Chains A and B, each alone.
Chain A
């Protein structure tokens, strides 16, 4: 199995503002968001990062996609270091989260061209890809409608397709269904399954067990910034379901029953 990503001892801390300290009733000035996280993902597989809100999933994925820098540690993504070659890393990855939006003034078609250009995709190849992807995901019907005038589901489809304009080697999804209604969420999960069937390498963070069980090959469970378990889905769910396994591990770590 070829490694497509290797995270090595990633650590990230955030300063806690005075206001935040008051809310959380803590004296600590620093919060460890990601604490010595290491894991590997393999080509052609879907890696699921599982954990409750605030566990450090988003921070980890943002470090991997070079949007933020780690305090220490490094990650090799598609053979490039996120620390030393962030621009190279971004050439090989597609990053998708519900927080990244498309400018509502432009049409999906124009934005596809714009991001293709930014990724340096040759014009002809971009045209071909646009036709192919737009047809496949039914975007061709509203390709020339301004994003602002699209329904949430259509917007989400456009965002998904545009996040993979350059046919990335690795696609990172940060809580892709977060805050979406059931129908739009289905658009996203269908898209993920489609990508998996196409043999894409994917890293996905989620707290939805059913989704993880459905598409992940490998699972990493992260709690309070620590990776407490990393294994194949098959190994983790050998004895019990993913959900049961997760809560058992969680209780073990936190020393409390849920």
Chain B
């Protein structure tokens, strides 16, 4: 027991007194927060007011009414200027202007658009349908936006004309439910990736690195048992990895509302202390499992480079497992909890969507801890293997 503590102390000292390592562990969380927030701000920033230049041939009264109705609504700060064109020749000119980005939109109505529309509304189907041609320049952003606005408005009008019945109602989910759903799909994958990255932060350097540099054998000639070294290393590395994983995780949690275009109050959802505790326990055990896996890989590898390369392959697998919750409904049969790593995905999903069962969490933690114990045994065995330690 005592030698385990000595090993842990040394590993932690190595980490906490090295500024570069500290930065490399906490930086991802900060970077994630900054980056996601930036993306969120960019996606959901209120656009600056815009003045659209529109040219219309055979102006229809409805057009102005509809467009005014939109432009004058509260959230919209845009305005538009309207030029009326008389002849087809002029319309060609305007198309050129559109091409040269001097004009944002050209709308050509058929001559009797309004009359035909009126007839239609009275229930009389005219022989020829009213026609509206809309031209825009996809290379110009303002042109693209006004085109989207106009066509959306007219599509809405058209479908309302054809409506034979009204569909009413709306989304009854609260903001927090929506957030919970979003979290449940994306969170397991993010947690998997961040925890795994956390385990890759120090483990290859601490095991493959020590082997590569010849400092590991120095420890092997002391009376400390191989299993004490294995246990000590895995505990210390798990602690560091958890810190790194936690940093990334907090970065995501705090920036997710911004990504979703919500305020921080979206976070004040119905998760209680118990939920956080379950999530935390689950995460710590999962982190230990990842560290144990990467440790075995690192012990097998001849160099840090090799260890990192092998671990990256495993990370992709882990990421795919995490993505399962994004594509379908997760099974909740009892056997699921016995599959390491995947069980954690299921449990995290359940915690986030308020459907967690105590038995499931307990089974998951026990199953993953058993895996960790087996991996520690394997690691101790590997430390005893001369081909692993001295193999070239």
Contacts and interface: CB of A to CB of B under 8 A. Distances in A.
A65 interface: yes
Interface of B: 2-3, 6, 10, 13-14, 18, 210, 213-215, 217-225, 386, 389-390
A99 B217 contact: yes
Interface of A: 62, 65-69, 87-88, 90-91, 93-95, 99-106, 110, 114-115, 117-120, 162-163
B223 A69 contact: no
Contacts of B386: 62, 67-69
A102 B218 contact: yes
Nearest to A93: B221
Contacts of A88: 223
B222 A115 contact: yes
B214 A118 contact: no
B214 A100 contact: yes
Nearest to B213: A101
A123 B82 CA distance: 90
B389 A119 contact: no
Contacts of A162: 218
21 contacts: A62-B386, A67-B386, A67-B389, A67-B390, A68-B390, A69-B386, A90-B221, A90-B222, A99-B217, A100-B214, A100-B218, A101-B214, A102-B218, A103-B210, A103-B213, A103-B215, A115-B218, A115-B222, A118-B219, A120-B2, A162-B218
Q: Which 6 A-B pairs have the closest CB atoms?
A: A101-B214, A68-B386, A95-B221, A118-B222, A91-B223, A90-B223
Contacts of A94: 221
A67 B214 CA distance: 13
A120 B220 contact: no
A119 B214 contact: no
Contact of A87 (B10, B213, B225): B225
Contacts of B213: 101, 103-104
Contact of B220 (A67, A93, A110, A119): A67
A190 B214 CA distance: 24
B233 to A, nearest CB: 13
A118 B6 contact: yes
Contacts of A104: 213
Given A103-B210, A118-B6, A67 B225 contact: no
A68 B384 CA distance: 8
B215 A119 contact: no
Contacts of A68: 386, 390
B62 to A, nearest CB: 76
A14 B89 CA distance: 93
A118 B223 contact: yes
Nearest to B219: A118
A67 B217 contact: yes
Contacts of B219: 118
A203 to B, nearest CB: 14
A106 B14 contact: yes
A199 B337 CA distance: 63
A117 B6 contact: yes
Contacts of A105: 14, 18
B40 to A, nearest CB: 39
A114 B18 contact: no
A99 B220 CA distance: 13
A87 B224 CA distance: 7
A69 B210 CA distance: 22
B390 A118 contact: no
B390 A103 contact: no
B221 A100 contact: yes
Contacts of A106: 13-14
B78 to A, nearest CB: 60
Given A103-B210, A118-B6, A67 B221 contact: yes
Contacts of A103: 14, 210, 213, 215
Given A67-B386, A67-B389, A117-B6, A100 B223 contact: no
A2 to B, nearest CB: 22
